[in-house]
Amino acid sequence: MPASFGRYVRRRREALRQQDSAYSVRQLAQRIGVEPSYLSKVERDEEAPPSEEKIVRLAGELGEDPDVLLAMAGKVSSDLKRIILARPELFSTLIRQLKDLPDRAVSRVVREVRDGKW
């Protein structure tokens, strides 16, 4: 099973808290715009992960990649969705083709596209 969202957030927050008292549940909750008790429950996986917007803000505060944090919450960023929805046949085919390729191969595609004259 993948590391749970809440557990992961709690670890990150507590790590930052060592250096910076601004990372209490209360203060962090305030900065991302939720109630402390809610964040507390989320961190203990007693509540489901919050909305995309809050997760993105959380990622910002924790210095994490929003896409990765969203993934831990089982969500795909809505901007990625929009890209796929704009050309569903193309992207569906491509993504399914890449499904079983190793990371190295996918990375290579990423690089080729970035550098390339496609």
Which residues 6+ apart lie within 8 Å of 19 measured at CB? none
**What residues line the site for a copy of itself (CB under 8 A)?**
65, 67-68, 70-71, 74, 76-77, 79-81, 83-85, 87-99, 101, 103, 105-110, 113-114, 118
CB contact set of 62 (below 8 Å; sequence gap of 6+): 9, 12, 13, 16, 69
Alpha-carbon span 17 to 23, nearest angstrom: 5
> What residue 77 binds from DNA, a copy of itself, none (CB within 5 to 8 A, per partner kind)?
a copy of itself
Among 5, 8, 9, 50, interactor with DNA by CB under 7 A: 50
Min separation Cβ 88 and DNA, Å: 17
| Binding range to DNA, per CB under 7 A, among 38-46, 62-70, 82-90, 110-118 | 38-46
